[in-house]
Amino acid sequence: MKIHMKITDLKKVSELDFYWKNSDYKNLLKEFGYADVEGIPENEILDYLFLAILDYKPAEAAAVILTYKMSDKLNEGQIQNLANEMLLDKLAEEYPDPALHFDIFNINQFLRKAYNGSFPDTEATIITAEIQGMGEDVEMTKEILIKTLSHGLRDSNLVKRLYGDQLNGTLPFEDAGKVIWHFRKLSENEVEIITSNYLIAREDFGLMEFETELKYFEED
């Protein structure tokens, strides 16, 4: 399948507005010991939550939020270690399991805002691109998007160095979700892609418009 892509916008951001909902803020207020959640005006919930969080030490607050968001992925000991290390290291870039980087990024940036910069700053990249060549019967996937994007990246880019065999089809691409955090179609031929700025930054691109023939792994 031959795909043509043109990157029309690329920006670095410190937070993703779709990750947290008001329902999360209400649930977290309860976790932090605030009982009368329903009496708080909707536009003041986040302010109340930040005040409640500040009654806790940063690592304690991190453990509460990590448990709320990631207890299905991490055990209690892992959460405690992560909570302690978040104050010192950019774990949205360095945590051994990249599949967890998306959640860690959003939690870290939330805590950074609550504690006025005490947590290390990490960033995401939002890429808007026009994409042509996908048939109507082809479902857009993270694998298709990262394989296409990779053809605009310089050889020095971390994704190309880490996942070269998967990008060229030598191995099945089981790690696409670790690179592409989220995507959504903006129109029939336009897509918004979110990834870690650590993995893909503006300076990683050598081309902003390119065409490629995608290669897939085939078992013998």
**Are 70 and 103 within 8 A, CB to CB?**
yes
pLDDT score for 214? 86
Instruction: Write the CB contacts of 126 (distance below 8 Å, at least 6 apart in sequence).
Output: 9, 10, 11, 13, 192, 193, 194
Give residue limits of the domains in the chain: 2-14+124-213, 22-114
- Mind listing the pLDDT tens digit for each residue in 103-161? 999 999 999 999 999 999 999 999 999 999 887 788 899 999 999 999 999 999 999 99
Instruction: Write the CB contacts of 133 (distance below 8 Å, at least 6 apart in sequence).
Output: 1, 2, 3, 4, 211
**Are 133 and 1 within 8 A, CB to CB?**
yes
Q: How far apart are CA 70 and CA 91, in angstroms?
A: 14
Compute the Cα dihedral for 157, 162, 215, 197 and give only its sign.
negative
pLDDT score for 134? 82
pLDDT score for 220? 61
The SS3 of residue 90 is: coil
pLDDT score for 36? 87
- Mind listing the pLDDT tens digit for each residue in 68-96? 999 999 999 999 999 999 999 999 999 99
Strands (E), the chain: 2-13, 124-132, 180-187, 190-196, 209-213
Mean pLDDT of 192-219: 93
What tokens were used for 175? 């790690």
Q: How far apart are CA 212 and CA 58, in angstroms?
A: 47
180 DSSP β-pair partners: 195
185 DSSP β-pair partners: 191
Strands (E), 35-170: 124-132
What torsion do the CA atoms of 27, 33, 38, 39 make, to the nearest 10 degrees? -150
Q: How far apart are CA 98 and CA 159, in angstroms?
A: 12
> DSSP 3-state helix, strand, coil percentages of the chain (rounded to 5)?
45, 20, 35
| Residue 25: count of CB within 10 angstroms of its CB | 18
Q: What's the chain's average pLDDT?
A: 95
